[in-house]
Amino acid sequence: MLDIKFVRENPDIVKENIKKKFQEEKLPLVDQVLELDKENRAAMAEAQDLRAQRNSLSKQVGMLMGQAKKDPSKLEEAEAAKAKVKANAERLAELEQKEQELDEKVRQIMMVLPNIIDPSVPIGPDDSYNVEVERFGEPVTPDFPIPYHTEIMERFDGIDMDAAGRVSGNGFYYLMGDIARLHEAVLAYARDFMIDKGFTFCIPPFMIRSNVVTGVMSFAEMDAMMYKIEGEDLYLIGTSEHSMIGKFIDQILPESALPQTLTSYSPCFRKEKGAHGIEERGVYRIHQFEKQEMIVVCKPEESMQWYEKMWRYSVELFRSMDIPVRQLECCSGDLADLKVKSCDIEAWSPRQQKYFEVCSCSNLGDAQARRLKIRVKGENGKPYLPHTLNNTVVAPPRMLIAFLENNLQADGSVKVPEALRPYMGGKAVLTPKR
């Protein structure tokens, strides 16, 4: 969310940013919010004058009432002053009510204006304009056919989507045996990988209140993603970033406590509404999955350094599991409204002969901090808003698709990279049951 002062002083920049985001329908909102802000500031100024008058008039009434006891002619003047106090009080109540209403109208518009994107972000209306920046590892296409990922899992008796369909419907799965163990091994390895990078491990709440939801994401994202708990002010998290950033809601952090670097495990729950829909046959797009996440809360001047570090951590992790990846810079139209800059890490799929998303790294500037009222007390005692960032460490079972395809061998077995072996009981190879 932008600062209303910034919008007031830079309306043209805000409008140009909206155009770069290809959200022209929001252009009239800038003039609307400025008019509402002007009206609100006028009401606030009048209210402030009335409060000052109230103090003066109250003293005057007291003085006149005291004089009236000795001089009855002063009584009429005292009553007139009392009437003025009453009229001012009624007008002040009207203005305070008006301020509340205007504040809410301004806030509602500010919540939908997109954050100012970084100048380095490529301009384009949708993800087809995302730009490949760099590749890591050589994409390999084996000389034997790569089956669909659920077929590979089925050879290990490692997945049962039919049973999950009977129990829960489409978008769910049972993982079993070596595949289930591999799933947990990847999460455990990712956890320790981030701890070794100096991050603090955390298991957060898996449900959050609505004020946290609206603090961390846009209304459009919330509607497309979040499951609400009926009858309660609680939502199931779509990613642990939500509750991890929410941890700092309404807090004033000492500057010495920055940066906050946390890595968290959680299950994630998503509606997956929209064009993509649920993949009935596979585990690429599903309603429930588990994830290791990383978040950073830092000084504004350090956020781009952390952005660079964070996506490189993802590359390092995937390369340690023998998975070729690339970094893809997200274009303006593919950025969620709160994001300043974002990139995807995509893994190579030998079967599809293309890359697909496995991680997403984002710098949100001070947008989440402003919404959640997270502040930092600077050395000079003056508070300021920190920047927040998040990135996927690893999100199986989607990540298992890349792992299985890139480590599959001609005889149907799956090679276990050295980094994962301690988490797989020392196994170097997984042998299919059929």
Provide the CATH number for the domain around residue 21: 1.10.287.40
pLDDT at 280 over 70: no
Distances (CA, A) of 195 to 239, 393, 409: 19, 11, 32
pLDDT at res. 64 = 53
Mean pLDDT of the chain: 91
pLDDT at res. 94 = 86
Give a yes or no: residue 116 inside a domain: no
- Cα separation, 392 vs 295, in Å, equals 9
Confidence of residue 271 (pLDDT cuts 50, 70, 90): confident
> Of 83, 110, 137, which closes a domain?
110
Q: 67 and 101 in one domain?
A: yes
Question: Length of the chain, please?
Answer: 434
Q: 145 and 99 in one domain?
A: no
Q: Nearest 5 degrees, angle CA 382-CA 390-CA 310?
A: 100
Q: 201 and 91 in one domain?
A: no
Helix, strand and coil content of the chain, in percent to the nearest 5, comes to 45, 20, 35
Is the CB of residue 179 less than 8 Å from the CB of residue 152?
no
* Rounded (10°) CA dihedral 290, 294, 295, 298: 180
Residue 117's beta-bridge partner residues?
Answer: none
pLDDT at res. 380 = 86
pLDDT at 48 over 90: no
Q: 344 and 262 in one domain?
A: yes
Is the CB of residue 254 less than 8 Å from the CB of residue 222?
no
Q: 221 and 168 in one domain?
A: yes
CB atoms inside a 10 Å sphere around CB 28:
10
Q: 421 and 327 in one domain?
A: yes
Q: In angstroms, what is the C-alpha Rg of the chain?
A: 28
Confidence of residue 34 (pLDDT cuts 50, 70, 90): very high
- Cα separation, 191 vs 188, in Å, equals 5
Domain ranges, residue 299: 127-430
**CATH code where residue 363 lies:** 3.30.930.10
* Rounded (10°) CA dihedral 218, 222, 228, 234: -30
Residue 383: partners with Cβ closer than 8 Å, 6 or more residues away: 252, 375, 376, 377
pLDDT at 302 over 70: yes
Give a yes or no: residue 388 inside a domain: yes
- Specify the pairing of strand 387-394 against strand 341-349: unpaired
Is the CB of residue 317 less than 8 Å from the CB of residue 307?
no
Give 122-142 pLDDT, tens digit per residue.
999 999 999 999 999 999 889
Give a yes or no: residue 117 inside a domain: no
What's the whole-model pTM score?
Answer: 0.88
Q: 285 and 326 in one domain?
A: yes
Give a yes or no: residue 40 inside a domain: yes
pLDDT at 9 over 90: yes
Confidence of residue 160 (pLDDT cuts 50, 70, 90): very high
Q: In the chain, how many domains are there?
A: 2
Say how many CA atoms lie within 13 Å of 423 toward its Cβ.
Answer: 21
Tokens of 65: 């009432």
pLDDT at 265 over 80: yes
Is the CB of residue 407 less than 8 Å from the CB of residue 320?
no
pLDDT at res. 72 = 64
Nearest to 103 by CA among 180, 44, 152, 182: 44
Give a yes or no: residue 320 inside a domain: yes
Is the CB of residue 41 less than 8 Å from the CB of residue 99?
no
Give a yes or no: residue 115 inside a domain: no
Q: 161 and 83 in one domain?
A: no
> Of 63, 81, 110, which closes a domain?
110
Q: 169 and 232 in one domain?
A: yes
Give a yes or no: residue 122 inside a domain: no
Q: 15 and 133 in one domain?
A: no
pLDDT at res. 191 = 98
Summarize the confidence of residues 162-191 as an average pLDDT: 95
Is the CB of residue 29 less than 8 Å from the CB of residue 11?
no
Give 70-122 pLDDT, tens digit per residue.
566 666 665 666 667 677 778 888 888 999 999 999 999 999 999 999 999 99
Q: 158 and 234 in one domain?
A: yes
> Of 63, 78, 110, which closes a domain?
110
Is the CB of residue 314 less than 8 Å from the CB of residue 392?
yes
pLDDT at 61 over 60: no
Give a yes or no: residue 410 inside a domain: yes
Q: 294 and 400 in one domain?
A: yes
